């Protein structure tokens, strides 16, 4: 089955959502490193059809500060190592960060922080699989496929929202 796609607006610019067989398989920002050519996105889909309607609803709740963990059917296409890294990304709590070295150690490959960084950069489902939560060993905002301004925005947004949420309870 060929993929379908829709474009939704967000505070970080237009997001192209791709789905295949009822699961989200990509979320790309308008300007993003490793963004595939538009002709690979498949035919335009209906934003009211699944999974697009649920993805858009959850993204809207996320950007409103009301959702801290996505619950969506995802299809992550990559190598076994990339999939392991992307799985770990989903375990980084909202409003928190991890370093490439910490992820490498978690994988049992403490010297593989560069490989973790490369896999992180190839994450096909930005924001939802939170590659923006990975930082350098010194706390610096190292590369981000969507650009460092977007990474800074997402991290600041999550920290501020997380602090506000904790203050409410």
Q: For 119, phi and psi rounded to 5 degrees?
A: -65, -40
Against a cut of 0.75, is the pTM above it? yes
Q: For 77, phi and psi rounded to 5 degrees?
A: -95, 115
Q: How confident is the model at residue 7 (pLDDT cuts 50, 70, 90)?
A: very high
Neighbour count for residue 97 (Cβ, 10 Å): 18
Average pLDDT, the chain: 91
**What fold is seen in the domain 80-168?**
Arc Repressor Mutant, subunit A (1.10.10)
Could you tell me the end-to-end alpha-carbon distance of the chain, in angstroms, rounded to an integer?
Answer: 46
Residue 164 has a pLDDT of 60
The 3-state DSSP class for residue 7 equals strand
Residue 167 has a pLDDT of 46
CATH number of 4-64: 3.30.160
The domains of the chain are located at 4-64, 80-168
Told to judge if 25 belongs to the known catalytic residues of this protein, a careful annotator would answer no
Annotated active-site residue in 131, 134, 135, 154: 131
Residue 166 has a pLDDT of 47
Q: Assess whether pLDDT exceeds 90 at residue 2.
A: no
In tens, the pLDDT along 104-157 reads: 999 999 999 999 999 999 999 999 999 999 998 877 777 777 778 899 999 999
Q: Assess whether pLDDT exceeds 60 at residue 168.
A: no
d(CA 57, CA 38): 24
The whole-number average pLDDT for the span 30-43 is: 87
In tens, the pLDDT along 85-102 reads: 999 999 999 999 999 999
In tens, the pLDDT along 142-161 reads: 777 777 889 999 999 999 98
Q: Assess whether pLDDT exceeds 60 at residue 16.
A: yes
Q: How confident is the model at residue 31 (pLDDT cuts 50, 70, 90)?
A: confident
CA distances from 113 to 62, 116, 125 (A): 29, 5, 20
Q: Assess whether pLDDT exceeds 50 at residue 169.
A: no
Consecutive H or E run containing 55: helix 52-63
d(CA 160, CA 169): 15
In tens, the pLDDT along 70-87 reads: 999 999 999 999 999 999
């Amino acid at each position: 089955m060929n993929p379908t796609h829709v474009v939704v607006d967000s505070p970080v610019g237009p997001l192209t959502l791709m789905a295949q067989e009822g699961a989200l398989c990509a979320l790309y920002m308008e300007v993003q490193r490793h963004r595939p050519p538009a002709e690979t996105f498949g035919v335009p889909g209906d934003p009211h059809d699944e999974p697009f309607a649920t993805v858009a609803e959850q993204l809207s709740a996320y950007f409103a500060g009301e959702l801290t963990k996505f619950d969506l059917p995802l299809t992550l296409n990559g190598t076994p190592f990339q999939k392991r890294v992307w799985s770990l990304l989903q375990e980084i709590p909202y409003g928190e960060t991890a370093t490439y070295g910490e992820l490498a150690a978690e994988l049992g490959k403490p010297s593989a922080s560069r490989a973790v960084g490369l896999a992180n950069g190839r994450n096909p489902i930005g924001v939802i699989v939170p590659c923006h939560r990975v930082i350098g060993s010194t706390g610096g905002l190292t590369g981000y496929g969507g650009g460092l301004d977007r990474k800074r925005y997402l991290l600041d947004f999550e920290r501020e929202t997380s602090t506000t949420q904790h203050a409410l309870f």
